Amino acid sequence: MTSPPLTQRPAWIALTAHAQTMKTRHLRELFGADATRGSRYHVEAEGLYFDFSKNLITDETLSLLSQLARESGVEERRTAMFAGQHVNESEDRAVLHVALRLPKDASLIVDGADVVAEVHAVLERMATFADQIRTGAWRGHTNRPIKNVVNIGIGGSDLGPVMAYEALRHYSQRDLTFRFVSNVDATDFVEAVRDLDAQETLFIISSKTFGTVETLTNAASARQWLIEHLGDEAAVAKHFVAVSTNAAKVAAFGIDVTNMFEFWDWVGGRYSMESAIGLSTMIAIGPAHFYEMLAGFHAMDEHFLNTPVQGNLPMLLGLLAVWNRNFLGFSSVGVMPYDRYLHRFPAYLQQLTMESNGKHVTLSGDRVTYETGPIYWGEPGTNGQHSFYQLIHQGTTVVPVDFIGFVNSLNPLGEHHDILMSNVFAQAQALAFGKTEEELRHEGADERVLKHRVMEGNRPSNVILANELSPRLLGLLVALYEHSVFVQGAIWDVDSFDQWGVELGKQLAAAMIPELANTAPVELAHDSSTNALITHYRSLKQNGRNDDDH
Ligand code: G6Q
């Protein structure tokens, strides 16, 4: 399908004009004019209640956004992705994370092979291994059961596993300890293992390419640590497994490929937490819970694929994000989970959203003439309320917020949960409706600080409410955001599945390592700032650590 460039599509032009009117409206007025707005602008599906009524929208906005999706070919692109076409055009790859969560009896033939059979074969191997670790049947080199699992990986090979472990900790086997090492900063590794007994420690080296410098550096240090503690190279066999697409490099590192769990080129790093990259998750929560999580992902996939736009959660979340970004001009999105277990969810989402849609050219390589991916950030509630929420409420930058909350706590304790959830509803309310001077005066507020206390309101938010945080729910939630990112990327006409922007820094750093390590004089040929920094670093480094500094 060829459609005109985004800004020339009729819906885009109409939305631009419509936004001028909407910018003069206030949520107070929109709610005042329609007593049913709060219930009308919500969708309930798969156990998720999505309230989007506190966005600066009307029926016309929604209908124009649906038109924009149609004119942008979002549905065609969705079909193409689910069918295994190479929608990651710049890397010429299929994008099939949805195949990772297809049920066992499904089938999806890609390039002549049934990927579902391959996916389930790996899941079964993972389940056998996870059970061996969980029951103590897998023995370490000195015949002790494994008690500690350390995942070494970075980016997509870390953020998903650590987020999922934290999110589903309630369901985890509590006599096992999990650690996640990602940063090449040695502190990450050293602090992660300092209280662990090597005899009871399993390292999972998670790397799609098995060529990532941070992961290989940490993996090498882990190997050395293990051998130092157990005094035998042969110990590696029982204490290291790999998750990768690259068997040759796994073998070259010294891990037996029978201890490698495979995934595929068509799984993007940031879309891989339910592949073998989720091995640590499966060990933590057990295979049955892991399959429940996959079922949650799949339910959202089906919902996304089969539901008309007006009731389609990822479509609506994505279209509203485009509305806020492009037409109202808001440059960031706050994601505030009111659940402590989801404390790594914002970090996970940052990669999912910003690595996917932080792009400056279209699929055909033309510079975009509109804004693309907003900045995603966030913290769990209620902590944020006692710090940066001040800016969200009264600052000069409007930050649309996604609130995520649950009806039932996994740790019911006194009044805690009602207090927590009252804050979700209250924050969304305060953002939308604020407080006027008149109201404050009526309440008898001190005239001297009246202006300081005014809350302008009219700040958009979504509320996502579910029964409780379960493995299934986590799958639903992650898939909701994955597909919302897809919808946004399809409208912006960018490649949401590549990440060329992370390459240059890696190349420059690789070239500098010898310059930093070398003690002999070197000819530096960078810009004058970089040259001066390296020179200063080298000269201080040669002086060694200063005992006065610590
Ligand atoms: C994710 C990115 C990136 C990747 C890491 C780790 O979509 O591609 O974050 O996951 O760079 O890569 P490896 O798994 O290959 O080590």
Tell me the pLDDT tens digit for each residue of 398-450: 999 999 999 999 999 999 999 999 999 999 999 999 999 999 999 999 999 99
Pocket test for ligand 1, best of 265, 267, 270 (most atoms within 8 A of CB): 270
Residue 269 Cβ contacting ligand 1 at under 6 Å: yes
Q: Which of 430, 298, 442, 321 is nearest to 372 (CA)?
A: 321
Task: Say yes or no: CB of residue 482 within 6 Å of ligand 1.
Answer: no
- Out of 88, 93, 152, 157, mutate this one to test ligand 1's pocket (max ligand atoms within 8 Å of CB): namely 157
Write out residues in the chain with pLDDT < 50, as ranges: none
What are the residues whose beta carbons fall under 8 Å from the beta carbon of 130, sequence distance 6 or more? 279, 282, 283, 286, 287, 290
How many angstroms is it from 502 CA to the middle of ligand 1?
10
pLDDT at 520: 81
What angle is formed at CA 353 by the lines to CA 328 and CA 380, rounded to 5 degrees?
90
Query: Is there an atom of ligand 1 within 6 Å of 154 CB?
Result: yes
Active site members: 355, 386, 506
First to last CA, the chain: 64
* Ligand 1 and 380: CB distance under 6 A: no
Cα–Cα nearest to 283, from 472, 134, 470: 134
97: Cβ below 6 Å to ligand 1?
no
Cβ count within 10 A of residue 135: 10
CB crowding 89-121: b at 16 or more within 10 Å, else e: eeeebbbbbbbbbbeeeeebebeeeebbebbbe
How many whole angstroms separate alpha carbon 78 and alpha carbon 496?
Answer: 12
CB atoms within 10 A of CB 491: 29
Output the pLDDT for position 544.
82
Distance, CA 246 to ligand 1 centroid (Å)?
Answer: 13
Q: Which of 209, 218, 359 to mutate to test the pocket of ligand 1 (most atoms within 8 A of CB)?
A: 209
**Residue 127, H or E segment:** helix 115-135
Cis before 281? omega within 30: no
Instruction: Tell me the three state secondary structure of residue 276.
Output: helix
The pLDDT, as a whole number, for residue 550 is 53
Q: Cβ distance 264 to 246 under 8 Å?
A: no
Laid out side by side, the sheet with 461-466 consists of: 42-45, 48-51, 461-466, 401-406, 332-337, 375-377
Q: Atom 9 of ligand 1 has which residue's CA nearest to it?
A: 155
Backbone angles phi and psi of 335, in degrees to 5: -115, 115
